[in-house]
Amino acid sequence: MVATGIKGRQETTVTQANVASNVGSGTVRVFATPSMIALIEKAAVLSIEAYLEPGQSSVGTRIDVSHLAATPEGMKVWAETEVTEVDRRKVTFKVAAYDERGLIGEGTHERFIIDIDKFVAKAEAKKQF
C-alpha cells in the first residue's frame, strides 16, 4: 500500500543525450528541463512500484516544477521524491533535483495508480474511432 513518507532517488550524468540542444527544448548544451522532469518521474515511479498490487502501475498526470539552475555536461544530477499525500488512487509527491553544486529544480508531481490492463484497453479503444 502506498503511504506518505515513501522516498525515491534516481541519478544520471548530464550527457549529449539529455541536454536542451539535443532534446529540442533549447539551443544550449545544459541539462534539459524535459530530462529533469523525466528523471523526477522515474524516481517517483520506482519509489512506489513495490507497494502496488500485481497488475497495477502508475501514470503521471501533473507536474509543477521550477528549473532553477543550469547544469553543464559531465556533472552528476539526481532527483529526490517523497510521497506527501495519498487520496485513493492519486499520489502526490514533493520533488527536487540537484547537481553537484546544489538545488536545480523543485516542485510537486501527481501520479494515479492504474490497473494496467484496463488502462491499456481504454487507450487502445481510441483507435476504433
Catalytic residue, from 12, 13, 41, 85: name it: 41
Catalytic residue, from 11, 12, 13, 33: name it: 33
Q: How far apart are CA 117 and CA 121, in angstroms?
A: 6
Nearest to 117 by CA among 48, 44, 53: 53
**Residue 67 designated active-site:** yes
**Residue 33 designated active-site:** yes
Catalytic residue, from 27, 49, 67, 80: name it: 67
Catalytic residues: 33, 41, 67
